Amino acid sequence: MGSKRPRSRHHVQPAPHRPLRVLVVGAGVGGISIARGLLRDGHDVTVFEQRPEVRAGGGAVTIWSNGETVLRQLGVDMDGAGQELSTVRVMTSTGRPMTTLDVTAIVDRMHAPVRMVPRRILLGRLLEGFPAERIRCNTQVVGVAEDSRGVHLEFADGSCADGDLVIGADGLHSKVRDIVGAQHAEPTGWCSWQGLASLPESADRRVAFVIVGEHGNLGLWPAGDTEAQWWFDLPWPPDFVRPERPIEVIRANFSGWSELVDQVLATLTDDDLTRSPYPHFRHPIPGPGRGAVTLLGDAAHTMPPTLAQGTNQALLDTMVLCKAISDTRSSGDLSAALRWYEKTRRRRVAAVSRVASLQVSHGESVLRPAALVPDRVMTWVLATFLRAVSHRRMAAGISRNLAAAPTSGSDEHAR
Ligand SMILES: Cc1cc2nc3c(=O)[nH]c(=O)nc-3n(C[C@H](O)[C@H](O)[C@H](O)COP(=O)(O)OP(=O)(O)OC[C@H]3O[C@@H](n4cnc5c(N)ncnc54)[C@H](O)[C@@H]3O)c2cc1C
Task: Assign residue 337 the CATH number of its domain.
Answer: 3.50.50.60
Q: Is a pLDDT exceeding 60 seen at residue 411?
A: no
* Ligand 1 atom 3 nearest Cα: 305
pLDDT for position 317: 98
Q: Which of 75-79, 285-289, 398-402 has the lowest mean pLDDT?
A: 285-289
CA-to-CA separations, 83 to 117, 118, 134, 337, in angstroms, rounded? 7, 9, 30, 37
pTM attached to this predicted model: 0.93
Residue 8 scores a pLDDT above 50: no
* Pocket flag, ligand 1, residue 30 (CB < 6 Å): yes
21 close to 337: Cβ distance less than 8 angstroms: no
Single-letter amino acid, residue 232: F
Asked if pLDDT for residue 11 goes beyond 60, the answer is no
Q: Please indicate, yes or no, if residue 95 is contained in any of the structural domains.
A: no
Q: Which residues contact 63 (CB under 8 A, 6 or more apart)?
A: 71, 78, 82, 114, 115, 116, 117, 122, 311, 312
As for how many domains the chain has, the answer is: 1
| Mean of the per-residue pLDDT values of the chain | 92
Domain contains 113 = no
Instruction: Quote the radius of gyration of the chain (alpha carbons, Å).
Output: 22
What is the CA(171)–ligand 1 centre distance, in A?
5
Q: Considering the chain, what percentage of its residues have pLDDT values greater than 90?
A: 85
- Whether 279 is covered by a domain: the verdict is no
Q: Is 82 left (phi over 0), alpha (psi -120 to 50) or beta?
A: left
* Mean of pLDDT values over 262-284: 96
The pLDDT of residue 410 is: 44
Could you report the per-residue pLDDT of 294-324, keeping only the tens digit for each? 999 999 999 999 899 999 999 999 999 999 9
pLDDT at residue 26, as a whole number: 98
Ligand 1 site, residue 311, Cβ cutoff 6 A: yes
Over residues 84-127, the pLDDT tens digits come to 999 999 999 999 999 999 999 999 999 999 999 999 999 999 99
Whether 246 lines ligand 1, by a CB cut-off of 6 Å, is no
For residue 405, the model assigns a pLDDT of: 84
> 168 with 177: CB under 8 angstroms?
yes
Whether 192 is in the pocket of ligand 1, judged by its Cβ within 6 Å, is: yes
Is the Cβ atom of 222 under 6 angstroms away from ligand 1?
no
Strands (E) located in 256-360: 278-282, 293-295
Alpha helices by DSSP H, listed for 53-193, are 65-73, 103-110, 119-127, 175-180
Regarding the beta carbon of 194 and ligand 1, being less than 6 Å apart is answered yes
**Are 274 and 181 a contacting pair, CB within 8 Å?**
no
Query: What's the DSSP call for residue 368?
Result: G
Q: Is the pLDDT of residue 17 over 70?
A: no
SS3 of 317, please?
Answer: helix
Q: Is the pLDDT of residue 2 over 60?
A: no
Domain that holds residue 30: 21-82+119-184+284-359+389-413
Confidence of residue 360 (pLDDT cuts 50, 70, 90): low
Q: Does residue 219 line the site of ligand 1, with CB under 6 A?
A: no
Backbone angles phi, psi at 67, to 5 degrees: -75, -40
- Bridge partners, 166 (sequence order): 23, 293
In a domain, 319, yes or no: yes
Q: Which ligand 1 atom is at minimum distance from the Cα of 174?
A: 38
Partners of 228 in the beta sheet?
A: 197, 222
Nearest Cα to 321, choosing from 31, 91, 113, 2? Answer: 31
What's the mean pLDDT in 279-304? 95
Please report whether residue 78 resides in a domain. yes
Per-residue pLDDT, 14: 47
Cβ of residue 140 lying under 6 Å from some atom of ligand 1:
yes
324 part of a folded domain: yes
Indicate which atom in ligand 1 lies nearest the CA of residue 312: 11
Collect all residues with Cβ–Cβ distance below 8 Å to 193 and sequence separation of at least 6.
Answer: 231, 232, 233, 234, 246, 250, 273, 276, 277, 278
Ligand 1 neighbourhood includes 126 CB (under 6 angstroms): no
pLDDT for position 93: 93
Q: What angle do CA 371, 193, 55 make, to 5 degrees?
A: 120
The whole-number average pLDDT for the span 257-270 is: 96
At 361, the pLDDT band (50, 70, 90 cuts) reads low
Residue 116 Cβ < 6 Å to ligand 1? no
Mean pLDDT of 230-240: 95
- Judge whether 227 lies within some domain: no
pLDDT digits (tens, 9 = 90+) for 140-157: 999 999 999 999 999 999
Tell me, yes or no, whether 61 lies in a domain: yes
CA atoms within 13 Å, Cβ hemisphere of 319: 29
Asked if the model's pLDDT at residue 12 lies above 90, the reply is: no
Measure 11 CA to ligand 1 centroid, in angstroms: 30
- Among 51, 68, 298, 321, say which to mutate for ligand 1: greatest number of ligand atoms within 8 Å of CB: 298
Instruction: Kindly state if the Cβ of 82 falls inside 6 Å of ligand 1.
Output: no
Q: Which of 50, 178, 190 to mutate to test ligand 1, by most ligand atoms within 8 A of the CB atom?
A: 50
Using pLDDT thresholds of 50, 70 and 90, give the confidence band for residue 194: very high
- Ligand 1 center to residue 298 CA distance, Å? 6
